[in-house]
Amino acid sequence: MSLLQNKKIILGISGGIAAYKCAELTRRLTEQGAQVRVVMTSAAKAFITPLTMQAVSGNPVSDDLLDPAAEAAMGHIELAKWADLILITPASADLMARLAQGMANDLLTTLCLASAAPTVISPAMNQQMWAAPATQRNLEQLKKDGRFIIGPGVGEQACGDVGAGRMLEPAQIIEYLPAFFLPQVLQGTKVVITAGPTQEAIDPVRYISNHSSGKMGYALAQAASWLGAQVTLVSGPTNLVPPQNCECIAIKSTEQMLSACQQVSQQANIFIACAAVADYKAASIESHKIKKTQHQLNLQLTKNPDILATIAQQVDKPFSVGFAAETQDVARYAKDKMQRKNLDMIIANDVSNQQIGFNSEQNAVTVYWPDGELDFAAEDKSTLAIKLLQLIAKQYTQQTQ
């Protein structure tokens, strides 16, 4: 189930060419089960019609503070109280200025003053307008007032300029929203997560690796960020786009992953090793492509360093969580790994079942910690990741209190 299911969202649209993206944004929000009520400034109506927004949201559009008929249907205070979240996009320079001043000279600005719901502002404007000192001053004021700013994007603009000021794409905006509906149990923590496979070169064109897609690790990174953590994702090669709010360090080999983790884990409160690290690497990497002259080819392999064990054995180690990917005797091997590697928690993954684990959409795990265990039935990796991070946050908090 989407985290946006049944959430009541006011979508505020101000005047800007990017307003056309709001039809797609609304469609995506309603697809995820959100109830959307659109509020438009008068300038917004020059760029997209209220009829379009009514059709895609399935609700009448509000645009006038002083319209007796609209007030009779759902008054502005009622609308302000109805909202779980106010999302404003595109937020023009003018709207940002009016919000920063606390003005209430149209319906949208009035709602922002009258609502206790979090307000998320996604600006979009010409790059020069965005860089203007007045806009930047207003931006700082809005942040001080507790408004949440997402974007803008950087790139080519409708006017032909290039720079910061593009409206974020609907999918990018939606990625930020679940954080506003989840308790921020990881607020103030730094979390490092490894994900994906590592690759060990044999020669300039070949490598040893495994089937990890990175989906579980990326889902954990997204969930940790939604729960309020500052996240660093150290990732082997995958086809995935890293979650927006996370710093991502891309590596290939185990040695590279180790050195990245050693660097970033020094400041970390929590370290989660989800990567499927290649246990062995070529004893020596051929400098030229190996030729197919022999019928049999023997590769000499040597053991890779254990990243998780290295981090978990540091003196000031972060709360350390490992995964155990096993095909048999899962519980025993997992508990043994927890002890051997000096972990605070281990997440056991039965990878003999091809419906879960490696390169699948779903996962099912059992989590062990020194005085407890908990089973998580199969479900999509992003939902499971939230539950796992909530459990990790609980154990971490108990340990540090």
105-113, 206-214, 220-228, 290-298 -> range binding ligand PMT (CB under 6 A)? 206-214
Q: Is 308 in the site for ligand PMT (CB under 6 A)?
A: yes
Q: Which is nearer to ligand PMT, 26 or 194 (CB)?
A: 194
Q: 311 to 340, contacts with ligand PMT by CB under 6 A? A: 322-325, 337
Q: 227 to 266, contacts with ligand PMT by CB under 6 A? A: 254
Q: Which is nearer to ligand PMT, 119 or 194 (CB)?
A: 194
Residues 6+ apart with CB under 8 A from 379: 362, 363, 364
- Least distance from C-beta 283 to ligand PMT, angstroms? 16
- Least distance from C-beta 279 to ligand PMT, angstroms? 6
For ligand PMT, the binding residue among 35, 127, 138, 213 (CB under 6 A) is 213
Verify whether residue 22 is a known catalytic residue: no
Q: 146 to 165, contacts with ligand PMT by CB under 6 A? A: none
Answer for the pair 216, 274: CB distance below 8 angstroms, yes or no.
yes
Q: Which is nearer to ligand PMT, 157 or 254 (CB)?
A: 254
7-15, 30-38, 270-278, 282-290 -> range binding ligand PMT (CB under 6 A)? 270-278
Q: Is 275 in the site for ligand PMT (CB under 6 A)?
A: yes
* Catalytic entry in 159, 248, 261, 274: 159
Q: Which is nearer to ligand PMT, 90 or 322 (CB)?
A: 322
Binding residues (CB under 6 A) for ligand PMT: these are: 194, 212-217, 254, 273-277, 279, 304, 306-308, 322-325, 337, 349, 351, 357-359, 363
Active-site residue numbers? 159
